[in-house]
Amino acid sequence: RLLLVYALAVALPLLLFFVVGRFRLPLLPVLAIAAAAGAQRLWRARTAGIRTIAGPAALVIGGLLLSHSALLGVAQDSTWHYYTLQGEALYRQGRLDRAIAAYEESLRRNPQAPATMNALAYLYAEQGSDLERAESLARSALAQAPRLRAHALDTLGWVLFRRGDLPGAAAALEEAIAGFAPWEARQRADAVAHL
């Protein structure tokens, strides 16, 4: 019984957060065994009467409906994040054209991702290409994510510099430098270099 209580204590939080992808895969074999045992029990109880199988059947149907609904975000496409990570890795490798393609795919899948907008805008500014779009992306990131304000201002300042708007660039970069947290010394140094 102690082992059963322990197993339930470990499994219960995982079951509650099963819709979160990182919990789903490791728990799948255990859940498959439990589902098979439950299906077998339901099959055996089918002749016992509707009252005997109504509760377990309602749980199974409710679980199926919940797991395929958008209520908990299960139906959302979360692959956009992987394209953002791929873009970051490609940028670090110096493969800028492929990085741009990965960021663009990420934004196609999730147009409301301010960190991705900011990264793509910065990459365009680094290349000196599509600067009008870069400015639009940087301003969108700035408007959507106050927590990224200093980073987005740095990107916006760099874009404005590349577009030739030196006063606008200086104002954005000065505000960015003042906005970085104490633990963001490297990012502040980048903004100072841009300024």
What is the C-alpha to C-alpha distance for residues 43 and 57, in angstroms, rounded to an integer? 11
Sign of CA dihedral 110, 115, 120, 125: positive
User: Token pair of 109, please?
Assistant: 């899948």
What is the C-alpha to C-alpha distance for residues 60 and 37, in angstroms, rounded to an integer? 13
pLDDT at 73 over 90: no
Residue-wise pLDDT tens digits, 99-116 = 999 999 999 988 888 999
Note whether 130 and 121 are within 8 A (CB).
no
Note whether 121 and 137 are within 8 A (CB).
yes
| Cα separation values, 114 from 104, 144, 160, Å | 13, 6, 18
Residue-wise pLDDT tens digits, 12-46 = 776 666 555 555 556 667 667 777 777 777 777 76
Q: Give me the pLDDT at residue 158, please.
A: 93
Q: Give me the pLDDT at residue 128, please.
A: 87
End-to-end CA distance of the chain: 66
Residue-wise pLDDT tens digits, 76-87 = 567 788 999 999
Which among 110, 90, 112 has a CA at the least distance from the CA of 101? 90
Kindly state the average pLDDT of the residues 178-188. Answer: 88
